Structure 1
Amino acid sequence: MPPELTVRGRIAATLRRRRRGSGFWFGLAIAVIWPIVLWGTRLGWRGAEHLPRTGGALLVGNHVSFSDPIFDIAFGTTHGRIPRFMAKGELWGVPVVKWVLGQGGHIPVYRASKRVGESFTGAIDALSRGEVVAVYPEGTYTADPEGWPMKPKNGVARIALRSGAPVIPMANWGTQDFLPAEGRPKLFPRKRIGIALGPPVDLSEFAGKPLTRTTLDAATKKIMDEVTTLLEGLRDETRPATPYDPELGARPEAPGEPVEGPGRAAS
């Protein structure tokens, strides 16, 4: 039996078992989406040994498509853990979507709001219960024309340092071909989806330090550097010298490198 078929069979069997404990709407979403995903893609992943089998863990990944959570849930669930995602709070106001997210145990993020602290508390509480919490520090799928991670938000470091949970870096690639930023899923030809996990990020140098912006930015950078290293392996390419800044609409200038404009074509 081809390895790829074995992977799809494992995913299907595992998700069927997990549906029963995930609530009606979350289970229904899996039942509707997965037949399309399983047979419309070629799945490849590595680093499952780095996903803790028990206890809380913060799974931190890059974001290239709205379909990333679908494949990341499959990865985690197939290896015995159901990730709880941090997702923008507005989705909890959308019929059906709010029931899927709520019954799946996912965590609302209230950005630019007086309730922003609830997002951190919800994530830290889930980690203390032994859950795997997944977060994309970019806040949305990347606007970098070349698909590399953008400048991240530092909330992920606040959660990591306050909770003390292990931080597992994760890279996604290929999902942007399956579900482009603008458009419908592209099932043919079948798209190759890659996910890679790495060992826990060593944040010991930040232990006990005040959670100032300088500390949080430095810890976030270290986490995202590990994520980007994994992505380099999936893409077999080298990252740019500086991450794309969505506020500038460009990649900031690095020493000896000209500023890149927003119109640079993707490779």
Structure 2
Amino acid sequence: MQTPQWRDVVRRDLFGPSPDPRDRPYRLVIRVFLVVLKAFGFRFDVRGAEHLPRHGGAVIASNHVSYFDFTYLELAALPQHRLVRFMAKASVFDNRFAGPAMRAMQHIPVDRTAGVAAFDEAVRALAGGQVVGVFPEATISSSFTVQDLKAGAARMAVQAGVPVVPAALWGGHRVATKNRRVVLRRGVPVTVLLGEPVVPEPGEKTQSVLRRTRAAMEALLEEAQRSYPDSPAGEDDRWWLPAHLGGTAPTPEQARELDIHDVRGTAAAVRRSPVEQVRHVLGSLVSRRRRGR
């Protein structure tokens, strides 16, 4: 386990010897996140970064358990000096704060009712040598297991002629995940695993690539959960473990029902004003401190 260091924040070679000037906003955001991760003492176990090609297009397909999964995957890409263009729901780009940043970082907005434009943009990015990050479950999994995958990640890899790099994330959901308050606790371990590329074979169909990708993601997630250094502090702290590991998270069958509106893009959005957003985060911190007394 490693904790981000202050020297990482200011390293000149963090993004390689000659980073693209157009990516200055993205690089600034990453350095800011490194400051936050260092300040809260996050501990990272990143394995398999060498599986991400140093040059050329690639799709990273990962499970999804936390609101900050984008950040953790980007950290795993840094050793190869790659920046990941994530596909994210269009509503994020409509946010007055997040929207300009997402566009400056060249992430790809996805309108779930009309996804052709996003798919075409992603294929163009891949053909141009970019790394595109996808959460093919289409939402955070309430069961913390790999749920049914959308075929888009595999289809764009086949069309662009690039590999799929399977990934697994574990631990970040203890800080921020859906249907729970944000708790910025210190010293949380986060595991990030990248697996061997799934390379579409000549003439291979999308569904075959998708099956191989899902199998790899499941194996990586199993390894991440098995090797995770923390255990629940008590019975009331078992919420972050999946049911098959003795946790109280919903079963995969229950999660499909809970997540169906998120996957379809029909969930009612909870809109907060900037003041309400600040109060929401501060309320989480105050609540945590009171429980720790």
TM-score scaled by structure 1?
A: 0.77
CA distance in 1, matches of 2:6, 2:79: 10
CA distance in 2, matches of 1:58, 1:248: 28
CA distance in 2, matches of 1:59, 1:125: 16
Q: After the TM superposition, which of the residue ranges 175-184 and 122-131 deviates more from structure 2?
A: 175-184
1:23-47 deviation line (CA, Å, top 9, x unaligned): 5654553344331213421111111
Partner residue of 1:173 out of 145, 170, 174: 170
Change (3 A) 1:245 1:150: farther
Structure 1 segments (4+ residues) deviating >6 Å: 237-240
Contact 1:65 1:180 in 2 (8 A): yes
SS at structure 1 position matched to 2:141: coil
Paired amino acid for 1:157: A
Q: CA deviation at 1:186?
A: 2.3
Unaligned 5+ residue runs, structure 1? 210-214, 251-267
Change (3 A) 1:42 1:247: closer
Paired amino acid for 2:157: A
* Paired positions, count: 234
1:91-149 deviation line (CA, Å, top 9, x unaligned): 22111311111111111111122xx11111111100111111110001111121xx111
Tell me what 1:43 maps to. Answer: 44
1:142-163 deviation line (CA, Å, top 9, x unaligned): 121xx11111111112111111
Tell me what 2:210 maps to. Answer: 220
TM-score scaled by structure 2?
A: 0.71
SS at structure 1 position matched to 2:67: coil
Tell me what 1:159 maps to. Answer: 156
Larger relative helix fraction: 2
1:62-87 deviation line (CA, Å, top 9, x unaligned): 10001000111122124310111011
Q: Identity rate of aligned residues, in percent?
A: 28
CA distance in 2, matches of 1:186, 1:16: 29
Q: How does 1:1-267 map to 2 (within 5 A)?
A: 4-5=2-3, 8=5, 11-13=8-10, 18=15, 21=21, 25-40=25-40, 41-113=42-114, 116-144=115-143, 147-181=144-178, 182-188=180-186, 190-204=187-201, 207-208=202-203, 215-236=205-226, 244=253, 246-249=255-258
Unaligned 5+ residue runs, structure 2? 228-241, 245-250, 260-293
CA distance in 2, matches of 1:15, 1:178: 30
Q: After the TM superposition, which of the residue ranges 179-188 and 69-78 deviates more from structure 2?
A: 179-188
- Root-mean-square deviation (CA, aligned residues, Å) is 2.9
Tell me what 2:287 maps to. Answer: none
Contact 1:25 1:99 in 2 (8 A): no
Q: After the TM superposition, which of the residue ranges 167-176 and 21-30 deviates more from structure 2?
A: 21-30
Contact 1:15 1:74 in 2 (8 A): no
1:192-220 deviation line (CA, Å, top 9, x unaligned): 0110111111432xx436xxxxx544432
CA distance in 2, matches of 1:128, 1:154: 19
